[in-house]
Structure 1
Amino acid sequence: MDKLYVQMYSFDSFNPAENEKNFRSAAELGFDGVELFGPNLAMEPEKLADMLKETGLEAVSLHADADKIEGMIPYAETLGLKFMGIGMHYLPDEAAAIEFAVKLNSIGAECSRHGIMLTYHNHTQEFLDCGGKMILEILMEHTDPDKVGFELDAGWCAAAGVDPIAFINRHAGRIKLVHIKESGEVLGVQPPFNPADIRTGEDGKVQFSEEQKQAMERSKKINCPAGDGLVDWKKLKAAADAQGCAAYIVEREYTYEGTRYDCLKADIEYYR
């Protein structure tokens, strides 16, 4: 791979005071750039741009909630981002997906006016079958391909029981970014999760409900080293390259042993 980015969520820190440490860790590990999320965006964009320049990192995208992302366009412009992504949305059925697609088109049109492509990132829930079409496919069918792209999380795709390579080939041109992640086994489509339910404590740590904790425990069980799971990464990259994927972003949500840093170190060594 020519360039490898890391989703900053991978450092398991929701405290903005740890931003500098985490950016330096990303650079130390050898990543070329980053995908930003919540606590990173608490920084003034000019200060963040200076920090990225100092560490030699390029910001490729950011994640924000659907109700906040349009307001982040000036922030993204300051950083020179080409992509902005919605990391998750509550999509329990086909009607919700069609309604959300209207919103994606609206936000995507505004992003496009500023030279930015809006993307949507999947978990397993977007592979829920609704009468022969998956939620993610319904979003694709009802969104403007010139304004709305998709960030395929290959690990969650495989965990849902869907071959990410076949999915990319079936939807050529819609996949703009890829989260490269491993899955040790098929977990199946998990119940739709509402990101609005996420709460953060005073210590900056996310406070999960019992239901969320149970879902996380199920996800942890499928966590494994890069190359030891379900996905043929060479074939995945070939398929994604052929349809114009702009960037590959490593995301490590859980550890299989050691720390997140240890796992990311093994990840980048494998993907390089």
Structure 2
Amino acid sequence: MTAARRRIAANPIPYWSTAGKTREVFDEAFRDFQEIGFTAVKADVPDGMSPAEYRDWIGGYGLMPALSLFNSPFDETVDLAEEVEKAKRFAATQVALGLDRTMISSMSVPARMAEPAVGAGFDAGRLARAIDNCGTVCRVLRAEGLWPLHHSHVGGVFETEEEIVRLLDDLGPDVIGFGPDTGHLRWAGVEPAAFIRRYADRIGGIHLKDCFPDLLAAESRAGLTYRQVQRTKRLWAEPGRGVIDFAAVLAAIPAGYDGDFMIEVDEPSVASKRESHRISFEWARRTLA
């Protein structure tokens, strides 16, 4: 993908997060995205559908497949051989869609979902094992034709700045690239622009998400789980409506950046999913121009 082909893409998380990944749910999202003006959507091929069928389906809405995500806990709960086979299947689908990169992330470690964004239950051995497991999966993805980009996510084993740095520095640029999420970085106490500058030579994709200030401090959300914080609608904000300095974020991205700009608002702050995406798209069209 060249710099001239960078797209404003959408991730339909709020459509399926409670309703499920059904055809009807995705059709609603794709209709909204087409009407709003998006031209690309996170590549999320339903079970039983071939890559060619998926391309035809989203193409009917004027959409192209965009950067997807491979997710694994990467900790002691996984069978590494099974994760490797899952990675091979995932890569085959993504490459068949014409994609050359993917986000890779750790999510849903129970202790961290219960007490998010503070590195709950840190264990040095778990971190080392997760880095090794992630490295194995990254090498498999690269061998299959996909460039893996670490995607920061609250609730996973690579949650805090120290953990993300360990992962990126231990594995190195030949194994893993960088695909930041501005919102998840900020929630975990990491300044997005500074962190992007630190790993700018490895960036291949980005999720643009904003945060309200209300629940960023740990004491302000004491006793609330990840899901409960999210459901307040006072965590995630449509880009430009929260505290993230997107001018600094965009200035930190290299001029030669050739990835998509993906809008992702896991829990819209407004009542309508469509309106949330319209607000986000209009902001992106003005800001990224």
Q: TM-score, normalised by structure 1?
A: 0.79
CA RMSD of aligned residues (A): 2.7
Return 138-147 or 64-73, whichever deviates more.
64-73
Structure 2: 5+ residue stretches without partners: 73-82, 110-118
Q: How many aligned positions are there?
A: 247
> In structure 1, the residue corresponding to 2:171 is in which secondary structure?
coil
Name 1:205's counterpart in structure 2: none
Name 2:115's counterpart in structure 1: none
> In structure 2, the residue corresponding to 1:119 is in which secondary structure?
strand
Name 1:101's counterpart in structure 2: 131
- The offset of 1:242, in angstroms, is 4.1
Structure 1 pair 32–97 and aligned structure 2 pair: CA distance change class (3 A) = farther
- The offset of 1:76, in angstroms, is 1.2
User: Which one of 157, 160, 168 corresponds to residue 140 of structure 1?
Assistant: 168
Name 1:236's counterpart in structure 2: 249
Name 1:32's counterpart in structure 2: 39
Distance 1:20 1:48 in 2: 12
User: Which one of 25, 50, 61 corresponds to residue 67 of structure 2?
Assistant: 61
Distance 1:188 1:245 in 2: 34
Note the 1:16-31 alignment, pairs <5 A: 16-18=22-24, 19-31=26-38
Q: Is the 8 A contact 2:201 2:254 kept in 1?
A: no
Partner amino acid, structure 2, of 1:72: F
Higher percent of residues as strand: 1
Structure 1: 5+ residue stretches without partners: 191-209
Name 1:251's counterpart in structure 2: 264
Distance 1:141 1:217 in 2: 34
Distance 1:17 1:3 in 2: 24
Distance 1:71 1:5 in 2: 24
Partner amino acid, structure 1, of 2:228: Q
> In structure 2, the residue corresponding to 1:173 is in which secondary structure?
helix
Structure 1 pair 6–141 and aligned structure 2 pair: CA distance change class (3 A) = same
Q: Is the 8 A contact 2:209 2:236 kept in 1?
A: no
> In structure 2, the residue corresponding to 1:14 is in which secondary structure?
coil
User: Which one of 183, 204, 216 corresponds to residue 230 of structure 2?
Assistant: 216
Name 2:283's counterpart in structure 1: 270
Distance 2:97 2:160 in 1: 35
Distance 2:61 2:238 in 1: 27
- The offset of 1:109, in angstroms, is 1.9
Return 50-59 or 148-157, whichever deviates more.
50-59
Q: TM-score, normalised by structure 2?
A: 0.75
Q: Is the 8 A contact 2:42 2:68 kept in 1?
A: yes
Structure 1 pair 58–83 and aligned structure 2 pair: CA distance change class (3 A) = same
Name 2:21's counterpart in structure 1: 15
Q: Is the 8 A contact 1:175 1:245 kept in 2?
A: no
Name 1:203's counterpart in structure 2: none
Structure 1 pair 20–214 and aligned structure 2 pair: CA distance change class (3 A) = closer
Distance 2:88 2:149 in 1: 12
Asked whether 1:177 is paired with 2:183, we answer no
User: Which one of 24, 46, 53 corresponds to residue 52 of structure 2?
Assistant: 46
Name 2:151's counterpart in structure 1: 121
